[in-house]
């Protein structure tokens, strides 16, 4: 089944405004994004042609631009917005988005959420 093929974008380190505390709204902080883009790679694997791929570079650029220019209170809302970019704007059939805030908790490397969305979630 081709739809189970995955493109994995690991540890995209960005900076943006995220959080509910006043001090979190004042300056950009690190935001770590991981994406699993589900797509059918069968044709591209056979043709070896860029015309048959899901362009992960274009998707990544859109996510970077969005995160660096957005201001969310909740990590959940940011993850949902990123999923929408992937699924609605770029036609990814299914995506898993993990968004983490490094250093958000003392004694923890990071805190974050992971969501899975399809087109049906945005209709």
Please give the structure tokens belonging to residue 105: 């908790």
Q: What residue numbers bound the domain in which 32 lies? A: 2-122
Per-residue pLDDT at 2: 45
Total tally of structural domains belonging to the chain? 1
Q: Is 93 helix (H, G, I), strand (E, B) or coil?
A: coil
What CATH number should be reported for the domain holding residue 72?
Answer: 3.30.1130.10
Instruction: Going residue by residue through the chain, which has 123 residues, state the pLDDT in tens, using 9 for 90 and above.
Output: 445 899 999 999 999 999 999 999 999 999 999 999 999 999 999 999 999 999 999 999 999 999 999 999 999 999 999 999 999 999 999 999 999 999 888 898 999 999 999 999 999
**Is residue 117 within 8 Å of residue 93, measured between CB atoms?**
no
Phi-psi region of 66 (alpha: psi -120 to 50; beta: other; left: phi over 0): alpha
- The candidate with the shortest Cα–Cα distance to 84, out of 123, 46, 54, is 123
* Closest to 31 (Cα-Cα) out of 46, 20, 47, 18: 18
């Amino acid at each position: 089944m081709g739809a189970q093929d995955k493109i994995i974008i690991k540890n995209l380190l960005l900076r943006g405004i995220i959080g509910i505390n006043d001090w979190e709204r004042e300056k950009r902080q690190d935001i770590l994004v991981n994406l699993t883009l589900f797509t059918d790679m069968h044709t591209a694997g056979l043709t070896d042609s860029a015309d048959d791929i899901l362009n992960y570079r274009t998707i990544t650029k859109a996510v970077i631009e969005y995160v660096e220019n957005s201001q969310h209170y909740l990590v959940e809302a940011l993850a949902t917005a990123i999923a929408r970019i992937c699924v609605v704007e770029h036609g990814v059939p299914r995506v898993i988005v993990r968004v983490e805030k490094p250093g958000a908790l003392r004694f923890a490397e990071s805190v974050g959420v992971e969501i899975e969305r399809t087109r049906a979630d945005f209709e």
